Structure formats: structure tokens, C-alpha cells
């Protein structure tokens, strides 16, 4: 029985080898047939084989493209140089404007200081006057102008001047003095 079993095993192994060979032979035949058909019938979708002129045409196209890229690079360099010059000019102009602005601020501060000194001096003059004479003068002024001076005076001097004015003029000036800071923020 063991001999028969050994023959059966050999038969199975031999059959496996034979079927493997048949499969390989069949797949090789199919590929060979496909290659043969492809060689005999070229299709329209396949490109034609490259000729020897293709590398020269490709080199010329690449050379033209390189020239265009070089021209664009040169244009960009020129543009960057122009932008750098413009940036330098703008920076210089900004520095000049800052210097002029500082000079203007100093001049305005000087003018404001001089105007403030003049107003303080004039307020002191009105305060030193006799209340009756100052009241007559304040009645001829515009109410806004008179309110500015009276607002700078100590309350007793302002009261003496207001008491010498007509009631309508004193009322107009009082309303302006009282309402000057009404719109100021409370917080």
C-alpha cells in the first residue's frame, strides 16, 4: 500500500508541474500574440517614433524659453531697482516732513504760549479796572469774548463786573460761562 501511495503522490506532483507549464505556455502565447498584433497594425492614437530632429527642435524651444525667462528676470531687476529708488525717495521725503512737522509744532507752541500770555495780561488789566468801568467795556464786547475773560477771573472780580452790567448782557454772558463745560465727559 505504501508503494501505491507513493505513486499517487508522484502522479499529483507530476500533474501540478504539467499544469504549471501549460499555464506559463498559455500566458506567453497570449503576450506574443498581442505583441504581434500591435506590430502589424499601428493605431492612430500612438505617436510616431521620434526622429533625430526632435532634440534640435527641443533645444531651440528651450533656448527661446530661456531667453524669455532671462528677459523677464531683467525686467524684474529693473523694476526692483526702480522700487528701491522710489522707496529711498519716499523715506527721505518722510524724514523731511517729520522735521517740518516738528518745526511747525514748535512754532505753534510758541504762538499759543504768546497768545496765552497776552490773554492773561489782558485779563489782569480788566480785573484791575474799576468794576463800573470794566462793566461798561464788557457790555460792548461780544458775549462769547466777554465770557472768556470773566471765566478766567476770580469769582469776586467777575461778580463785581457782572453786577455793573445790564441784566440782559449779564444773563447772556452767564449762560455762556455756565454752558462752556456742559459737553465735557463726566468720567
Beta-carbon contacts of 144 under 8 Å, excluding residues fewer than 6 positions away, are 176
pLDDT in tens, the chain (187 residues): 555 556 777 788 888 877 777 777 666 666 666 666 666 655 555 555 555 556 888 888 899 999 999 999 999 999 999 999 999 999 999 999 999 999 999 999 888 888 889 889 999 999 999 999 999 999 999 999 899 999 899 999 999 999 999 999 999 999 998 888 777 777 7
Residue 74 contacts by C-beta under 8 Å, 6 or more apart in sequence?
A: none
Q: Does this model's pTM top 0.85?
A: no
3-state secondary structure 133-176: HHHHHHHHCCHHHHHHHHHHCCHHHHHHHHHCCCHHHHHHHHHH
| Sequence spans of domains, the chain | 56-112, 129-180
CA distance 124 to 152: 9
Helix (H) or strand (E) holding 50: none
Residue 82 Ramachandran class (φ > 0 left, ψ -120 to 50 alpha, else beta) = alpha
Cell of 44: 492612430
Amino acid at each position: 500500500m505504501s508503494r501505491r501511495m507513493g505513486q499517487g503522490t508522484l502522479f499529483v506532483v507530476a500533474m501540478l508541474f504539467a499544469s504549471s507549464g501549460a499555464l506559463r505556455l498559455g500566458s506567453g502565447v497570449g503576450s506574443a500574440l498581442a505583441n504581434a498584433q500591435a506590430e502589424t497594425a499601428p493605431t492612430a492614437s500612438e505617436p510616431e517614433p521620434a526622429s533625430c530632429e526632435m532634440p534640435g527642435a527641443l533645444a531651440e524651444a528651450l533656448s527661446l524659453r530661456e531667453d524669455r525667462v532671462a528677459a523677464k528676470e531683467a525686467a524684474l531687476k529693473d523694476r526692483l531697482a526702480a522700487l528701491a529708488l522710489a522707496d529711498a525717495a519716499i523715506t527721505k521725503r518722510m524724514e523731511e516732513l517729520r522735521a517740518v512737522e516738528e518745526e511747525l509744532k514748535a512754532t505753534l507752541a510758541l504762538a499759543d504760549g504768546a497768545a496765552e500770555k497776552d490773554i492773561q495780561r489782558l485779563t489782569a488789566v480788566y480785573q484791575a479796572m474799576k468794576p463800573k468801568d470794566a462793566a461798561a467795556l464788557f457790555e460792548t464786547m461780544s458775549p462769547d469774548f466777554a465770557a472768556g475773560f470773566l471765566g478766567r477771573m476770580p469769582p469776586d472780580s467777575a461778580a463785581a463786573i457782572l453786577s455793573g452790567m445790564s441784566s440782559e448782557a449779564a444773563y447772556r454772558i452767564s449762560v455762556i460761562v455756565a454752558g462752556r463745560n456742559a459737553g465735557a465727559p463726566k468720567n
